[in-house]
Amino acid sequence: MYKPQDSRYEKMVYNNCGKSGLKLPAISLGLWHNFGDVDDFHTARLMVQTAFDLGITHFDLANNYGPSPGSAEKNFGKILKLDLKNYRDELVISTKAGYFMWQGPYGDGGTRKYLISSLDQSLRRLGLDYVDIFYHHRPDPTTPLEETMGALEDIVKAGKALYVGVSNYPPELTLQANEILHSSRVPFIIHQPKYNMFERSIENGLLDTLAKLGLGCIVFSPLAQGLLTDKYLTGIPKDSRAAKPYGFLKEEEVTSEKVSKAQKLNNLAQKRGQTLVQMALAWNLRRKEITSVLVGASKPSQIEDAVKCLENKDFSEQELKEIDAILLTQ
């Protein structure tokens, strides 16, 4: 029988999500990989327990996480029932809809039809009455934004989500979404974009927009799916995401250029007395616009590694320059 650590709130840092009152842990756990029905349930369960014991109160899902699609929600629902049913009010659980989920014209995109039925399915799989945050997962140019935002509004009114967010929206569309939701007082509080040392495009506009609107920002793939760890420094290990047939990171993305940069970054991290994982996460958190980094993991020790980034979060100007120089080399 799992009993959470009494010390679980001692070390984690909690940040307000934009101008809202909702606090998110600086490190959150994403269930995109390693929680599906192709994965080991015991390990998945241990990862959720480890995360909660370390003060990670936020777990991020989507309708399609698996494989098979939906199985991450089903497995997380099982873990909630087994281990965390008495702790629901200590958790922030999010899910999303926006990518392909089922056949035919109603299982993808941003229609009212899709979002409302998808969330109902997610709630059934999770065994919950509501999620804390529901996201539109990606823009859908074939559906009017008013329709998509109207669905988010009605989902909140129906009590099926407490807050709403968008993911992968460019700055201008985020502004428009905010205008629609703000005018009907919908608690739109968060954006979920990709951000890591190798992918910095949100520095060119989105982060400013979020700060201006008072929206929180939780960044996904902060470790570039594992490329910003020591995992690929000497080859592609058999048990890595790049080696797995259903992993989203492809072998050809593990380029010699990325590995060489990771090696240099790893040396710098060692000088700072931390792992590359810890330095990469601390580097993301240096931006005040960022509420939380959303890490993935395949074993509990990776979550322990990530959380230790909070022990050394500060960078000197010199270190930031060195990182930029490494990232800019060809």
3-state SS, one letter per residue, for 178-245: HHHHHHCCCCEEEEECECECCECHHHCCHHHHHHHHCCEEEEECCCHHHCCCCCCCCCCCCCCHHHCC
| Residue 269 found at the interface with ligand NDP (CB under 6 A) | no
Q: What is the spatial distance between Cα 117 and Cα 107, in angstroms, rounded to a whole number?
A: 9
Q: What is the spatial distance between Cα 294 and Cα 28, in angstroms, rounded to a whole number?
A: 5
**Rounded to the nearest whole angstrom, what is the least distance from the CB of residue 252 to ligand NDP in the complex?**
16
Distances (CA, A) of 89 to 81, 85, 257: 14, 9, 45
| Residue 58 found at the interface with ligand NDP (CB under 6 A) | no
Q: What is the spatial distance between Cα 38 and Cα 23, in angstroms, rounded to a whole number?
A: 33
Tell me which stretch binds ligand NDP (CB under 6 A): 1-9, 42-50, 288-296, 320-328.
288-296
Taking CB under 6 A as the criterion, the residue among 128, 152, 277, 310 binding ligand NDP is 277
| Residue 191 found at the interface with ligand NDP (CB under 6 A) | no
**Rounded to the nearest whole angstrom, what is the least distance from the CB of residue 302 to ligand NDP in the complex?**
3
**Rounded to the nearest whole angstrom, what is the least distance from the CB of residue 318 to ligand NDP in the complex?**
26
Taking CB under 6 A as the criterion, the residue among 178, 221, 284, 292 binding ligand NDP is 221
Beta bridge partners of 218: 292
Collect all residues with Cβ–Cβ distance below 8 Å to 137 and sequence separation of at least 6: 62, 96, 97, 98, 99, 167, 168
* Helix, strand, coil percentages in the chain from 3-state DSSP, rounded to 5: 45, 15, 40
Taking CB under 6 A as the criterion, the residue among 231, 254, 265, 307 binding ligand NDP is 231
Tell me which stretch binds ligand NDP (CB under 6 A): 46-54, 82-90, 158-166, 214-222.
214-222
Nearer to ligand NDP, 40 or 157 (CB): 40
Which among 198, 226, 192, 194 has a CA at the least distance from the CA of 298?
226
Tell me which stretch binds ligand NDP (CB under 6 A): 13-21, 113-121, 215-223, 317-325.
215-223
| Residue 224 found at the interface with ligand NDP (CB under 6 A) | yes
Collect all residues with Cβ–Cβ distance below 8 Å to 284 and sequence separation of at least 6: 195, 196, 219, 222, 290, 293
| Binding characters for ligand NDP, 117-156, by CB under 6 A (x = yes) | --------------------x-------------------
| Residue 24 found at the interface with ligand NDP (CB under 6 A) | no
Nearer to ligand NDP, 131 or 277 (CB): 277
Strand ranges for 227-302 from DSSP E: 292-295
Residues 62-121 that bind ligand NDP (CB under 6 A): none
**Rounded to the nearest whole angstrom, what is the least distance from the CB of residue 250 to ligand NDP in the complex?**
13
Tell me which stretch binds ligand NDP (CB under 6 A): 24-32, 112-120, 123-131, 312-320.
24-32
Please check whether residue 206 is in contact with residue 177, taking contact to mean a CB–CB distance below 8 angstroms.
no
Nearer to ligand NDP, 65 or 213 (CB): 65
Q: What is the Cα 101 distance to its own chain's centre?
A: 19
The binding site for ligand NDP (CB under 6 A) comprises 30-34, 60, 137, 167-168, 192, 220-226, 229, 231, 240-241, 277, 294-298, 302, 305-306
